[in-house]
């Protein structure tokens, strides 16, 4: 099918062969797959799977490099094959759901996986084929009990600080956790089993001694040590927890300060003063010998280094002044540890018109649950800023007030957006 597939409320589709869709799919009726049915998603533009009722398939093939955005549940009873393209499923009420019989065919990749919520029903071992908008970052479970399904999602961010408790699978407290990524895993009712953390160099730079690694589990405001059976090295591997009965965020932890986890960037903000852009950032768990390279772009794509600062170690606050900024400046910080490993901050955008030095700062960029627009531009106060997607469709509008304007963006699909201001200026930003 080269165009869109629309199943009306009074209609019923039973797929006993192959339904191949290159356009959008809207399901308001019944869409089921018999024992041998395959739902093939193919095309060269972004596909939207929507409707008031779930899509039910035996086998699913994902083959669209432009990606697939899911706003209605996709239930799979056979196998899913990731050939090309990322499924975005950021609404917890519309996950990709695997039955107790279903599986993943082959190995997902950075170019083809699920960015969002995945639910698994039944017991046994299962690896969630999840990641963010660019990287495949799986997590696994091996369940002995699963009464109403268990759901997982990956976040490239901080699950939040907490005290290091002694009531996990091991009484030895952690001394650190990875503040650059976590997996939120939660059951529909009761679930019991182990968690397998899959780690690589994407958000885990800085690991030295793998024997100190543990599965870190945040619950009740504490980070608990859930043990860990390790397979791998400092660059990549897996870590299997002890038995879990209470669920919530999981990530890598360490029981020794001698095996550091990635540097945490607590904040990254900026503002314009006169004709200068000032950049401020704060760190925690910073290793001695860390350096910070400030990079700038005028188009959000091509960056060059404009300054380097040596780290102070541990928890520190830094300031950098850019005396010759362009009208719209994109900034990011390359953080280099003493052993040469690198990681990047998110992107900060500062905007100023040449005529009156009106200021607008956007953060974090890329954004996730919320996008903050900080404005001190008198000419823009009371005007409307409009967020549009790549097709030019208006997603939302906000009337700018002086100070920080916060937009809730959790339900937006991942991708490229543009923010349009009343004076005609446009800033490109990415939702993860």
For 37-96, what is each residue's pLDDT tens digit? Answer: 899 999 889 999 999 999 999 999 999 999 999 999 999 999 999 999 999 999 999 999
Fold exhibited by the domain 353-432: Immunoglobulin-like (2.60.40)
Question: Which of 75-84, 217-226, 350-359 has the weakest average pLDDT?
Answer: 350-359
Q: What's the chain's length in residues?
A: 432
CB-based contact 327:351 (threshold 8 Å):
yes
Beta pairing, strands 182-187 & 229-232: unpaired
Predicted local distance difference test score (pLDDT) of residue 347: 75
Q: Pick the closest to residue 305 from 317, 313, 316, 297 (CA basis).
A: 297
Q: What is the mean pLDDT of residues 426-432?
A: 76
Structure tokens at 186: 């939660």
List the domain boundaries for the chain.
5-254, 263-348, 353-432
* DSSP H stretches of helix in 94-232: none
Q: What is the mean pLDDT of residues 336-363?
A: 68
Question: Which of 93-97, 305-309, 349-353 has the weakest average pLDDT?
Answer: 349-353
Predicted local distance difference test score (pLDDT) of residue 367: 75
Predicted local distance difference test score (pLDDT) of residue 252: 95
410 or 143, greater pLDDT: 143
pLDDT at 266 > cutoff 80: no
The model carries a pTM of 0.68
Predicted local distance difference test score (pLDDT) of residue 319: 93
pLDDT at 359 > cutoff 80: no
355 or 57, greater pLDDT: 57
CATH superfamily of 263-348: Immunoglobulins (2.60.40.10)
Q: What is the mean pLDDT of residues 7-33?
A: 83
Q: What is the mean pLDDT of residues 360-369?
A: 72
Predicted local distance difference test score (pLDDT) of residue 269: 79
Distance between CA 340 and CA 291 in Å, rounded? 10
| 201-213 per-position pLDDT tens digit | 888 866 778 899 9
Give the chain's mean pLDDT.
86
Distance between CA 360 and CA 374 in Å, rounded? 6
Question: Which of 68-77, 272-281, 300-309, 344-353 has the weakest average pLDDT?
Answer: 344-353
pLDDT at 232 > cutoff 80: yes
Beta pairing, strands 47-50 & 68-70: parallel
pLDDT at 355 > cutoff 60: no
User: What percent of the chain has pLDDT above 90?
Assistant: 47
pLDDT at 259 > cutoff 70: no
Sorted by sequence, the CB contacts under 8 Å of residue 312 that are 6+ apart come out as 286, 318
Q: Do domains 263-348 and 353-432 have the same CATH topology?
A: yes
Structure tokens at 289: 């010998």
Predicted local distance difference test score (pLDDT) of residue 2: 64
Residue with tokens 């059951």: 187
Burial of 92 (0-12, 13-18, 19+ CB in 10 A): middle
CB-based contact 132:115 (threshold 8 Å):
yes
Beta pairing, strands 38-42 & 18-21: parallel
Helix (H, G, I), strand (E, B) or coil at 163: strand
């Amino acid at each position: 099918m080269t165009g869109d597939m629309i199943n009306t409320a009074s209609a019923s589709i039973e797929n006993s062969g192959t339904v191949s869709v290159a356009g959008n799919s809207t399901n308001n009726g019944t869409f089921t797959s018999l024992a041998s049915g395959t739902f093939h998603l193919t095309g060269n533009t972004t596909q939207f799977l929507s409707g008031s009722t779930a899509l039910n398939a035996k086998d699913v093939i994902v083959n669209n490099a432009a990606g697939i955005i899911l706003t209605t549940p996709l239930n799979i009873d056979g196998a899913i094959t990731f050939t090309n393209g990322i499924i975005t499923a950021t609404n917890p009420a519309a996950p990709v759901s695997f039955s107790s019989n279903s599986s993943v065919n082959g190995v997902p990749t950075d170019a083809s996986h699920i960015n969002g919520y995945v639910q698994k029903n039944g017991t046994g071992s299962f690896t969630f084929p999840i990641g963010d908008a660019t990287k495949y970052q799986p997590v696994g479970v091996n369940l002995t009990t699963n009464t109403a399904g268990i759901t997982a999602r990956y976040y490239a961010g901080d699950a939040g600080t907490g005290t290091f408790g002694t009531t996990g699978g091991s009484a030895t407290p952690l001394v650190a956790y990875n503040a650059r990524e976590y997996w939120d895993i939660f059951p529909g009712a009761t679930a019991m089993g182990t968690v397998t953390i899959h780690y690589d160099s994407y958000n885990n730079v800085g690991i030295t001694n793998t024997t100190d690694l543990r599965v870190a589990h945040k619950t009740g405001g504490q980070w608990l040590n859930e043990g860990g059976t390790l397979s791998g090295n400092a660059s990549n591997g897996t870590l299997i927890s002890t038995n879990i009965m209470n669920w919530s965020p999981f990530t890598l932890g360490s029981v020794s300060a001698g095996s550091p986890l990635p540097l945490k960037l607590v904040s990254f903000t900026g503002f314009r003063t006169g004709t200068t852009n000032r950049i401020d950032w704060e760190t925690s768990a910073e290793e001695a010998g860390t350096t910070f390279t400030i990079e700038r772009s005028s188009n959000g794509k091509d960056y060059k280094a404009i300054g380097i600062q040596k780290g102070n170690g541990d928890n520190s606050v830094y300031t950098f002044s850019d005396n010759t900024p362009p009208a719209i400046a994109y900034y990011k910080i390359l953080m280099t540890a003493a052993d040469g490993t690198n990681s990047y901050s998110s992107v900060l955008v500062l905007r100023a018109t040449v005529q009156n030095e009106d200021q607008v700062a956007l953060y974090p960029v890329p954004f996730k649950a919320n996008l903050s627009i900080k404005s001190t531009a008198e000419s823009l106060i009371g005007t409307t800023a409009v967020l549009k997607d790549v097709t030019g469709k208006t997603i939302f509008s906000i009337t700018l007030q002086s100070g920080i304007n916060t937009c809730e963006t959790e339900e937006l699909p991942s991708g490229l957006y543009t923010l349009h201001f009343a004076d005609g200026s446009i800033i490109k930003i990415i939702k993860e």
